[in-house]
A and B are shown apart, each in its own frame.
Chain A
Amino acid sequence: NAGVTQTPKFRILKIGQSMTLQCAQDMNHNYMYWYRQDPGMGLKLIYYSVGAGITDKGEVPNGYNVSRSTTEDFPLRLELAAPSQTSVYFCASSHQVSGTEAFFGQGTRLTVV
């Protein structure tokens, strides 16, 4: 089973460039999330979605955008990359059932220089 798939695994961006981090899940999960993890820290929620066409801001949404046109895909867009966005980004998904844990992708390590 593929689970949650993120691409790319690594990326270096120059300040001011834009990019899209891709996330796809094949578990038919309603809920999807984007987190960032800074070195030595826990995860902070950027955006989340409870279903196709529905997205909402998390704790640290500034500088990011998302869309959810299908159940499977939840891309994260970085506009005008800044060094503060250097981080590891994790996509996760979970089913709309109480107690179901979130499944995480392998992460995208992004460096902005």
Chain B
Amino acid sequence: ELKVEQNPLFLSMQEGKNYTIYCNYSTTSDRLYWYRQDPGKSLESLFVLLSNGAVKQEGRLMASLDTKARLSTLHITAAVHDLSATYFCAVHYTGTASKLTFGTGTRLQVTL
């Protein structure tokens, strides 16, 4: 069974602090995505990670991929309130015609 697990499920952090969201997946994948979802809104693509060791950064967010450990991380640096949202990782499993399996999401709340 294909499984994608994120932790934590909920994260409350103060502005200015750093934190990491983890995404573990159960079998071989050739690409992994991170999405952001604001309440009541659609999903916005943040990063696409295609290979082992891939690292991508945009502003205060940095995503990395370790295919051997089947682990991706989303690191938040010096959080600001505008980053409050739910973050999903989604894994494409090799040979599954571009279907994505989503994690349950991490709801991030950044407080003053």
* A-to-B contact residues, CB < 8 Å: 31, 33, 35, 40-45, 48, 50, 56, 58-59, 90, 94, 96, 98-107
Contact = CB atoms under 8 A, between A and B. Distances in A.
A59 B90 CA distance: 14
B50 interface: yes
A91 to B, nearest CB: 10
Contacts of B48: 99-101
Interface of B: 4, 30-31, 33, 41-43, 45, 48, 50, 88, 90, 97-105
Given A42-B103, A44-B102, A48-B97, A104 B42 contact: yes
B99 A45 contact: yes
A90 B41 CA distance: 10
Contact of B105 (A42, A59, A90, A105): A42
Contacts of B41: 106-107
Nearest to B103: A42
A33 B99 contact: yes
A48 B45 contact: no
Q: Which residue, A35, A43, A90, A104, has most C-beta atoms of chain B within 10 A?
A: A43
Contacts, number: 58
Contacts of A59: 101
A7 to B, nearest CB: 14
Contact of A101 (B42, B45, B97): B45
A102 B100 contact: yes
A42 B33 contact: no
A48 B99 contact: yes
B50 to A, nearest CB: 5
Contact of B104 (A42, A45, A98, A107): A42
Nearest to A4: B42
